Structure 1
Amino acid sequence: MSSQKVALYGLGNMGYLIAERISSQFSLQVSDLNTAQVERACNELSAEVITCPEQLAGTNYVVLCLPHPSASLSVLKGILPYLDANAVVIETSTVNPADVRRSEQLLAERGIALIDASILAGVSQMAAGTASLLLGGSADVIARAKPVLDSITEKQIVFGPLGTGAAAKVINNAVAHAAMVVVAEAGSMATACGVDIQKLIGLLSDEQMGMHRPLTYRYAKRIANHDYEGGMPLSAALKDSALALELAHSERVPLFAIQASHTVYELGATAGYDREDYAAIAKLWADWGKPTVPAT
């Protein structure tokens, strides 16, 4: 057990699991609006309740696991005058890079270090110790925080400067949430057409098929290398997309994500990319001044 102190703000479903893991290696201080959770942490984890910010004198690390970016900033404003200058703040809440920068500016008043350590996992993964932390910040501050990070989980990915871990988490969630809509639409179309759902799941989860191929082949190999020669022409993808819309219309299945994506293929064809591999839709974002990968 380390003699260093860790203060954790936020004892929600994820926060409490983090508290369990930290308390196994550090002296833990806790704060939450839910008094029942605070009492539970005291009884089960031998945690010290933070009743006033003066208790943070001598605290080495502050971990934030809060439900909204404004909550993180509010907590930091309240405790800032009482933090030791050599303390490290670890932001595990789901926030945007701009939120991290606002926290950085606030903490800079006293020279206090900050990293973002977004959690990529559900509560079951955190409980099992298989969660991942997506890290952003300077290498030396991440190294200083490593004992606490390791107590949470050993699976850590450093993405780069401050805010990049938070950005990676938000992007990952955006993809998952958008894919959820596509999957729901696909399932509705399949059900309407009498397609066996379990076989459809097997098809879409095959590494050479629907869900994997756009990322592991077209993005990782073609878009990343700016290689759009050969392959399946964008014009063919546009035709297939039109067939999907026709099928959904005939079965009276409402589409949202698939309908919207069809527009992108239309724009790609209009831009003159119709004879290139359909990964060339990525060139549209470069045309708009926001390339999907760095220029070679």
Structure 2
Amino acid sequence: MSANTVAVYGLGNMGYLVAERISQAFSLQVFDLSAEQLARAGAAFGATPISDPEQLAATRFVVLCLPYPAASLSVLAEIAPHLPKDAVVIETSTVNPADMQRSADVLAPHGLALIDASILAGVSQMAAGTASLLLGGDASAISAARPVLDAITEKQIVFGTLGAGAAAKVINNAVAHAVMVVVAEAGAMATASEVDVEQLIGLLSDTQMGLHRPLTYRYANRVVNGDYSGGMPLDAARKDSELALSLAQSQRIPLFAIQACHSVYELGAAAGYGREDYAAIAKLWADWGTPSAPGNPEFNRY
């Protein structure tokens, strides 16, 4: 194999598409536990199956797209002794920063570089080339891997040190999954209240209201800048939250996320933030001693 060869470990729904995109710019080696997937990749884009880690002796870039962090560690322990000294491992699997550090520890004795390139997309976006990569790691390693990253997608965001891209994806997904619960609760209340669901979707997706404003205005401006003067008081938000709980109770709609969120407004009022803009709930995390929380003097360093 030449320096223009990339190895991809993991040919699941996403990994197969990652391999397919890389194959448009590089010769490809692939590994998967499924013989069927290996044969499919060979037939579709001429990928060479990896049967022995010694086949990686001249392979500079290895892309991991595996279902569990333990799978990545197992693969790296097996292949690290066989990779060339200038090799870069590109972790696209969904993992945590601690997993990235464990992988780095496996590679360190061999002098090998590791970057995280977490995929923010569904399979349709990857197939269309509109996926995003959330990058973390040494700048020189990211630069060296840029041709491979570009082959996957040109939409890339560098978040910082090793593990930062992985953390960004986990946080993004956590928000999306939590919002899904809130939206399901809202839809149930809307249906019970005979609110047209299409109109509700329009309301919540309005850039000046609904789902957008807490992020694009309150967090981006008030929380980041520590500005809680004026605006909608936390006491008023707490009152609105009580009304939502009362509405759901009258409709016999069980609430989980919205009920839990109301507790935060109760805590904010008890902490004395009632007359400040309701974004002041973010200060609670500083009160609880979180080093990088809004309101902590260290916050703007992060």
Aligned-pair CA distance for 1:247: 0.4
Secondary structure of the structure 1 residue equivalent to 2:157:
strand
Aligned to 1:292: 293
Say whether 1:92 aligns with 2:96: no
Q: Which residue of 2 aligns with 1:10?
A: 10
Residue 78 of structure 1 deviates from its aligned partner by 1.0
Contact 1:3 1:27 (C-alpha < 8 Å) held by counterparts: no
Instruction: Check whether the contact 1:57–1:83 (CA below 8 A) recurs between aligned residues.
Output: yes
Q: Distance in 2 between matches of 1:270 and 1:210?
A: 26
Q: Which runs of 5+ in 1 are unaligned?
A: none
1:80 CA displacement: 1.3
Amino acid across the alignment from 2:45: L
The SS at the match of 1:219 is helix
Name 1:116's counterpart in structure 2: 116
In structure 1, the residue matched to 2:49 is 49
CA distance in 2, matches of 1:226, 1:44: 54
Kindly indicate whether residue 132 of structure 2 is the aligned counterpart of residue 163 of structure 1: no
| Cα-Cα RMSD | 1.0
User: Could you tell me whether the CA contact under 8 Å between 2:120 and 2:169 is conserved in 1?
Assistant: yes
**How far off its partner does 1:92 sit?**
0.2
CA contact (8 A) 1:9 1:31 kept: yes
CA contact (8 A) 2:248 2:255 kept: yes
Deviation at 1:84, TM superposition (A): 1.1
CA contact (8 A) 1:133 1:155 kept: yes
Q: What's the secondary structure of 1:158's corresponding residue?
A: strand
Partner of 2:211: 211
How far residue 244 of structure 1 moved from its aligned partner, in angstroms, is 0.3
- For residue 247 of structure 1, what is the aligned residue in structure 2? 247
The one-letter amino acid of 2:242's match is: A
Q: How does 1:1-296 map to 2 (within 5 A)?
A: 4-290=4-290, 291-293=292-294, 294-295=298-299
Structure 1 contact 3–26 (Cα < 8 Å) conserved: no
Matched letter for residue 106 of structure 1 = V
Residue 293 of structure 2 aligns with an amino acid whose one-letter code is T
| Alignment TM-score, normalising by the size of structure 2 | 0.96
Code of the residue aligned with 1:191 in structure 2: it is: T
Q: Does the CA-based 8 Å contact 2:3-2:60 persist in structure 1?
A: no
Cα distance per residue 1:95-124 (max 9 Å; x no partner): 000000000011001110000000000000
Displacement of 1:295 in angstroms is 3.5
Asked whether the equivalents of residues 6 and 59 of structure 2 are also in contact (C-alpha less than 8 Å), the reply is yes
Report Cα offsets for 1:141-197 as digits up to 9, x if no partner.
Answer: 100000000000000000000000000000000000000000000000000110000
Which residue identity is paired with 2:255?
Answer: L
- Which stretches in structure 2 are left out of the alignment for 5+ residues? none
**Distance across 2 between alignment mates of 1:138 and 1:61:** 15
Q: 1:92, 1:39 → 2: CA distance?
A: 22
What is the CA-CA distance between 1:292 and the residue it aligns to?
3.3
Count of aligned residue pairs for this structure pair: 295
Contact kept? 2:293, 2:299, Cα under 8 Å? no
Residue identity over aligned pairs, in percent, reads: 72
- Alpha-carbon distance in structure 2 between the residues aligned to 1:204 and 1:210: 4
